[in-house]
A and B are shown apart, each in its own frame.
Chain A
Amino acid sequence: MEGGAHGATEEAFRAAHTIKGLAAAMGEDAVSARAHALEDLLSGALASKEAVGGTRIDELLEAADALAAAIAHGATALPPDAGPVPAPPATYDGGPASVPEGTVRVVNVRLRPETPLRAARAALVRSHAERCGGVLGAWPPPGADTDSVVLFLGAGADEAAIGEAVRRAGDILDVAFEAVEAPRVAPSAPAAPAAASYVRVDRAYLDALAESVAELSVLHERARTAGPALDPAGWQADRVGALLAALRRTVLDMRMVPVGAAFDRFNRLVRDAARTADRDVAFTIEGAEIELDQAVLDAVVEPLVHLLRNAVDHGIEPREVRLSAGKPVRGSIRLAAARDRQSVRFTVEDDGGGIHRDRVAARARDAGLPVPSGEPTDDELLRLLAQPGFSTAAGVTTLSGRGIGLDVVVDRLRRLGGAIDLETRAGSGTTFTLRVPLTLALAHALRVRVGGEDYAIPLTHVTEAIALDSAAIEKADADREVIRVRGAAVPLVRLGRVLCAASAGESAAVVAEAGDRRVALGVDELVGHEQILVKPFDAPVNALPVFSGATLLADGRPALLIDPLSVA
């Protein structure tokens, strides 16, 4: 609305008016009164025919907040739900609009639970029965996915023949005949309401569902690798695997929400922050339609809030500074989301003054932190800023612009199995890039062996795994090694050394990449590819940063998750 559009004001006015009317009709006087107040303000704005701006907006937002609070209060004051909606009856009553006229018998045919291509089997049941004659209709229609078929028989039907024909269709669990009393005009009256396209589900159920599916997947993996002893034909495991894959896809799809759902509040946040800090800021959002697991989105919101606040408070310069630097008075902050392989990338970019590398280095030195000689690179800068000791050092924020909360952001990202990158350009701005996995419920991982122990490397940032030939390792300098991956030199880090484990000699390397950071992690052995269930991991305070979580492997053994980029 700010800066103008008359149409938007009108739209808001109509919405306030509607809420007022509905609330009054339902006796929600508090809501109605607040909607009325908002409506008044908006009608004033409409009458003035001028662009709505400045303090007017503040008044409007206050009125809208008051209305939202009243509505929320009204909602909680409602009596508790009358329990879950009852499931539709399991009989045919919910199905066809009516039982065909002349029906004297109804046959209920149930398929075996594990029937493959059961819709086709149901079609076969119907076709076999129809060949006997006397079948007036069937439910559901051909092609519908179903585990049972209802046949409607007329007076002339040969029940014995139909029963026999139906059983011959195969994969039949049971066949039940039921007489229909006199003139059965079944639910011809109001047809069952069409199923709603949306169902409200408590997140807890969804989480529980996702967890059982994930655990089933792990169990399946275990059964599969246990081999022929358990499942001679491998058929059970295949079948369970196919079912699981379908179930998992559904559950994960259900958990996906467009990131825009969380972005909406950022407009307000940036606006409020800009007002408080007395900055002029244009805020743009891109990629609101990108989809992400609800749980990941929830977890990434707080880091984004931190970064956006920082961008306003410390990124964008005061007007006079921008003017004297020859930049537009109004600063710009851009939040963008994009899909990148099995992860989603968030970018928070400002066109402010950038981070003063020398000041950060000086401050870090004062705080007694180890500081590399020379001007810190972007990566070193990020590491310094993310030091808990650093962010509490007095005066840092006003001097350097960044610090507060960045340790929290980095820690959050690490727990999510994500990564963060920083790029800052003196005088022209700063960009933070966050990468998070698409979903938390289940991750693909490489199982590797180092010094006789197995570890899991989530595939989120892995680009490839290659055989490692010791002759192909080059020395970059005294203690750094590189290998060539598709022609490009990539730093090689021997995982055994990071873990202080007795490596049996590296035979493979796992290449990981995030932004322009790449690393090849040398491991003794690639054991295989597994689906893992990532368990929350409360690392001891002095744990190696290379561990990002824990999991149970397919054979039931616990293993630590390795974050390859932590050593990049």
Chain B
Amino acid sequence: MARTVLICDDALFMRTMLAEIMEQAGFEVVGQAATGAEAVRLFQELKPDLVTMDIIMPDMGGIDAVREIMRSTPDANIVMCSAMGQQALVIEAIQAGARDFIVKPFQPARVLEAVQRVLG
């Protein structure tokens, strides 16, 4: 059975691009969230194998969403999506429990490497 992915990003363009990369690699994109709150809600509902989480989102940011998810599911696999200038936020997210991160602009190979590492 294909592994399931929840994609969280407030930019439709980013979600679409990530979804394409994931689907081409054989994942099943079960949901897409545009806010942190939506990410938490969809995670509880769908229990995906993997979450990609943007850092800056309206209505609860990515880091708070990670904290919220980790509270109920400490073994959740969350990969942060970061721009070059957001290093300090990425570190905060890692300390909150994120398992890996990918750096924009996304290169499909790097994205899949990170996903493989996390799902091992």
Chain A interface (Cβ < 8 Å from any Cβ of B): 116-117, 119-120, 123-124, 127, 142-143, 168-170, 233, 235, 242
CA distance A169 to B87 in the complex (A): 16
Is A170 touching B94 in the complex (CB atoms < 8 A)?
no
Residues of B within 8 A of A235 (CB): 107
Is B94 touching A120 in the complex (CB atoms < 8 A)?
yes
Chain B facing A: main interface SS:
helix
**In the complex, chain B residues 96-120 whose Cβ is within 8 Å of any chain A Cβ:** 100-101, 103, 107, 113-114, 117-118, 120
B interface residues, tally (CB under 8 Å):
17
Is A120 touching B117 in the complex (CB atoms < 8 A)?
no
Is B95 touching A142 in the complex (CB atoms < 8 A)?
yes
Is A170 touching B113 in the complex (CB atoms < 8 A)?
yes
A117-B90 in contact given A142-B95, A169-B100, A233-B107 (Cβ < 8 Å): yes
Is B114 touching A120 in the complex (CB atoms < 8 A)?
no
Is B91 touching A170 in the complex (CB atoms < 8 A)?
no
A170-B100 in contact given A119-B87, A123-B95, A127-B95 (Cβ < 8 Å): yes
Is B107 touching A117 in the complex (CB atoms < 8 A)?
no
Is A168 touching B91 in the complex (CB atoms < 8 A)?
no
CA distance A129 to B68 in the complex (A): 23
Say yes or no for B84: interface residue by CB 8 A criterion: yes
Residues of A within 8 A of B100 (CB): 124, 169-170
Is B103 touching A116 in the complex (CB atoms < 8 A)?
yes
Which of A117, A127, A142, A242 is the most central at the interface, judged by chain B CB atoms within 10 Å of its CB? A117
Q: Nearest-CB distance from A113 to chain B (Å)? A: 16
CA distance A143 to B88 in the complex (A): 7
Is A124 touching B107 in the complex (CB atoms < 8 A)?
no
Is B90 touching A170 in the complex (CB atoms < 8 A)?
no
Is B95 touching A117 in the complex (CB atoms < 8 A)?
no
Say yes or no for B35: interface residue by CB 8 A criterion: no
Is B87 touching A124 in the complex (CB atoms < 8 A)?
no
Residues of B within 8 A of A168 (CB): 117-118, 120
CA distance A135 to B84 in the complex (A): 29
CA distance A494 to B82 in the complex (A): 50
CA distance A170 to B117 in the complex (A): 7
Selected contact of B82 from candidates A120, A142, A169, CB within 8 Å: A120
CA distance A142 to B94 in the complex (A): 10
CA distance A170 to B120 in the complex (A): 12
**In the complex, chain B residues 28-58 whose Cβ is within 8 Å of any chain A Cβ:** none
CA distance A117 to B90 in the complex (A): 9
B104 nearest in chain A by CB position: A116
CA distance A143 to B84 in the complex (A): 14
16 additional contacts, CB 8 Å, given A143-B88, A168-B120? Answer: A116-B103, A117-B84, A117-B87, A120-B87, A120-B90, A120-B91, A120-B101, A124-B94, A124-B100, A127-B94, A127-B95, A142-B91, A143-B91, A169-B117, A170-B113, A170-B114
Residues of B within 8 A of A123 (CB): 90-91, 94-95
Which of A168, A233, A235 is the most central at the interface, judged by chain B CB atoms within 10 Å of its CB? A168
CA distance A117 to B100 in the complex (A): 12
